Amino acid sequence: MAVMNVNPTRMQLTDLKKKLVTARRGHKLLKDKRDELMRQFLELVRENKELRKTVEDAIKRANKHMALACADMSDESLDVALMMPSQKMSLDLQEKNIMSVMVPKYDMKFKTADKGDIYSYGFGFTSGDLDGAIKDFADIMPLMLRLAETEKTCQLLASEIEKTRRRVNALEHVMIPDYEDTIKYITMKLEEAERSNITRLLKIKDMMLQQTYNYETI
């Protein structure tokens, strides 16, 4: 590691020791944050994998029902049946904090609580497969929103993990070693200066004894 370009003084030594303590504390906190982010990230990745499989299977079933409905009904009848939906959905976007990372939280709200309102047509002139397709798509919607939520959260957590990892590495491999080497360098310089000062004082003492008492040192 490199020694920092500082003056080797006691004041600078004290300042660097304080910075070293702060850097070590920050390093520990960042490592704890990185580990907790990784734990939550891996949990979300597993949930995301299961959700994606569930959603893809549900979409396949819904598309199968819709394909059968299209084969059983004319295009005009299908258009009329789906022309005027009676149910409406709104999406409330909020945020929650995960280890200082703001991630999205989707809240789905319907116009009415009646589950039968998803059907905007009478059952007398439509195919049962259309009913199944509508029901499948309605059931998929909350899962799709949760999937979107987890995927976006995973992206944000992955970005934060990478930033935190870089900070941890910078502290661990650059800043802390530089502080330690600089502190060792300043300590060595101060000890060297102190030894030189003692030697100089002893020399002055010998000179004074020689001048005063005509005393000669061996």
Residue 217 counted as domain residue: no
Q: How confident is the model at residue 1 (pLDDT cuts 50, 70, 90)?
A: low
The residue among 124 and 189 whose pLDDT is bigger is: 189
Q: How confident is the model at residue 116 (pLDDT cuts 50, 70, 90)?
A: low
CATH number at residue 51: 1.10.287.3240
Q: How confident is the model at residue 108 (pLDDT cuts 50, 70, 90)?
A: confident
How many structural domains comprise the chain?
1
Cα 124 to Cα 118: distance, rounded to the nearest angstrom: 16
SS3 label, residue 5: coil
Residue 215 counted as domain residue: no
Q: Are strands 89-98 and 101-110 parallel, antiparallel or unpaired?
A: antiparallel
Phi, psi of 107, deg, nearest 5:
-120, 115
Residue 158 counted as domain residue: yes
What range defines the domain where residue 42 resides? 10-202
Q: What pLDDT, on the 0 to 100 scale, is given for residue 162?
A: 95
| Contacts of residue 14, Cβ cutoff 8 Å, sequence gap at least 6 | none
Strand partners of residue 104? 95
Tokens at residue 214, please?
Answer: 């005509």
CA distances from 26 to 29, 33, 196, 198 (A): 5, 10, 38, 40
**For the segment 21-70, what is each residue's pLDDT rounded down to a tens digit?**
999 999 999 999 999 999 999 999 999 999 999 999 999 988 888 888 88
**For the segment 92-101, what is each residue's pLDDT rounded down to a tens digit?**
888 999 888 9
> What burial letters (b/e) apply to 34-71, b meaning 16+ CB within 10 Å?
beebeebbeebeeebeebeeebeebeebbeebbebbee
Q: What pLDDT, on the 0 to 100 scale, is given for residue 212?
A: 75
Q: Mean pLDDT across the chain, nearest whole number?
A: 85
Q: What pLDDT, on the 0 to 100 scale, is given for residue 49?
A: 93
**For the segment 64-87, what is each residue's pLDDT rounded down to a tens digit?**
888 888 888 777 777 777 777 777
Tokens at residue 152, please?
Answer: 């976006």
Residue 99 counted as domain residue: yes
The residue among 197 and 45 whose pLDDT is bigger is: 45
